A and B are shown apart, each in its own frame.
Chain A
Amino acid sequence: MSLYHLQKFLYVLNRDEAAQSKFHEDIEGILGEYDLTTEESAALRDGDIGLLYVLGVNGQILMHFAAFLGIEWFDYLDLMRAGIEKHGPVRAGVYTMTGGGASFTEEEAHR
């Protein structure tokens, strides 16, 4: 478990355009700069929002990675719920799901 390094990767990616370019051009190179587990590297490489959420990535960091990948807001919420369904409860960090997977907005229900 190296949640700190996983979140550090995304923190840098979210704010650094050079890191964003490298993510597209040399993903193995940029992944290699961080002390990540095989599971964490794979989740980043695959853009696996659900698994990253379960691993404990703070939503304030994760939602920007989702936007960076072109994932729309409601799809982002669904991917986290699917991650819980597939991988089980959030394993670390401060962001946990307490609503049982429910939607809390009319707009999402009506989309």
Chain B
Amino acid sequence: MSLVYAGVLSHAPGITGRAHLVENTAKRDEFYAKLDVQRQEIEASGAEALVVIAAEHFGNFFMNNMPAYCIGMGEYYEGPIEDPEWLKIERTKIPGAPDLGRRLTREVLQSVDTAYAEEWKFDHGIMVPLNFLTPNYDLPIIPVNINCQGPPLTPLHRVWAFGEALRRACDAVPEKIALVGTGGISHWPATPDSGKINEAWDRDFLDRLMRNDKDALLDYTDEDIYRDGGQGGFEIRTYIAAAAAAKGQGDLQFFTVELPIFAVGCTVARFDIL
């Protein structure tokens, strides 16, 4: 078994970019502390590479040629693609793992037709997690994208299959691999409703996720998600893929809706790997 860690965490540009505007600094710092616990757990796992299942936001992929899935095979990546001052993360080079990425892609292709990319400019969807999980950018990253932004979107049962394929691919290589899914649950980011969060819907989703209940996790239509969780809710795909890869139950280490300035409920969780 080469998957040594699996978890999820929220991303949003405000988590770093609007940190200075937060009034509830105690809750913000509690969130940051939990993210640091996640960093320590990944480090303690001995992971030699980190797979980040993300939901990128038109930094690389656009409606001229939109892949449902993409896996990075680059030697290195650059980010953030956004204005570093806006995101409050300095632009830097991030090491990749091209050979490992290629082997993972080959195995995933046995069951899911993923795209791949040797060039990728990370947006906040990956840079914000890395800012907390690998702040020295010293762990090779394998970015993975699921299109959560430009419908039509890949169906949830295919997301589950993709997560399972990633797991099979991780198990087929000797390297120790950590994997995180990063998204949001309900949110309406970058709209006038930015900061709106459907807490009840989020908690119900997290209950399904922590039980790793496949049937319950796949029991949403995109119409349900859009109505209850907004367009940002489509990003539950990244969490579902991580759950499918881990197979075990989750441990919700942190969740709050008390930081709406970040425009998302803030989540940190790990999964048992079975």
Q: Does A34 contact B (CB under 8 A)?
A: no
Q: Give Cα distance in the complex from A8 to B62, angstroms.
A: 8
Rounded to whole angstroms, the CA-CA distance of A59 and B6 in the bound complex is 30
Known: A14-B81, A99-B196, A107-B261. A80 touches B58 (CB 8 A): no
Cβ A8 vs Cβ B188 within 8 A: no
Within 8 A of A (CB), among B14-73: 14, 18, 21-24, 57-60, 62-64
Are A60 and B149 within 8 A (Cβ)? yes
Flag whether A30 is at the interface (Cβ < 8 A).
Answer: no
Provide the residues of chain B in CB contact with A60, threshold 8 Å. 57-58, 149, 189-190
Q: Which of B170-228 contact A (CB under 8 A)?
A: 188-197, 226
Task: Please determine whether A63 and B62 come into contact, CB atoms closer than 8 angstroms.
Answer: no
* Residue with the highest number of chain B CB atoms closer than 10 Å, among A7, A14, A101: A14
Number of A-B contacts (CB under 8 A): 96
Residue with the greatest number of chain B CB neighbours at <10 A, chosen from A60, A63, A73: A60
* B window 145-184: CB within 8 A of A: 149-151
B195 touches A105 (CB 8 A): yes
User: Which B residues are in CB contact (< 8 Å) with A94?
Assistant: 151, 226, 231
Return chain B residues, CB-CB under 8 Å to A95: 190-191, 231
Query: Does A105 lie within 8 Å of B149, measured CB to CB?
Result: no
- The interface residues of chain B, by DSSP majority, are classed as loop
Contact of B192 among A15, A77, A106 (CB under 8 A): A77
Contact assessment for A63 and B193 in the assembled complex, using a CB-CB cutoff below 8 Å: no
Complex: A14 Cα to B59 Cα, angstroms: 8
Q: How far is the CB of B254 from chain A (nearest CB, A)?
A: 20
Contact with B along A76-105 (1 / 0, CB 8 A): 010011001000000000111111011111
- Point out residues on A near B: beta carbons under 8 Å: 4, 7-8, 11, 14-15, 53, 58-64, 67-68, 73, 77, 80-81, 84, 94-99, 101-108, 110
Q: How far is the CA of A38 from the CA of B78 in the complex (A)?
A: 36
Bound Cα distance from A77 to B83, whole angstroms? 18
Contact of B196 with A104 in the complex, beta carbons under 8 Å? yes
- Least CB distance, B110 to chain A, in whole angstroms: 32
What is the CA–CA distance of A100 and B59 in the complex, to the nearest angstrom?
Answer: 29
Residues of chain A within 8 A (CB-CB) of B58 are: 7, 11, 14, 58, 60-61
Contacts of B192 in A (CB 8 A): 53, 77, 80-81, 84, 97, 99, 101
**Chain A hits for B14, CB < 8 A:** 73
In the bound complex, residues from chain A placing their C-beta under 8 Å from that of B13 are 63
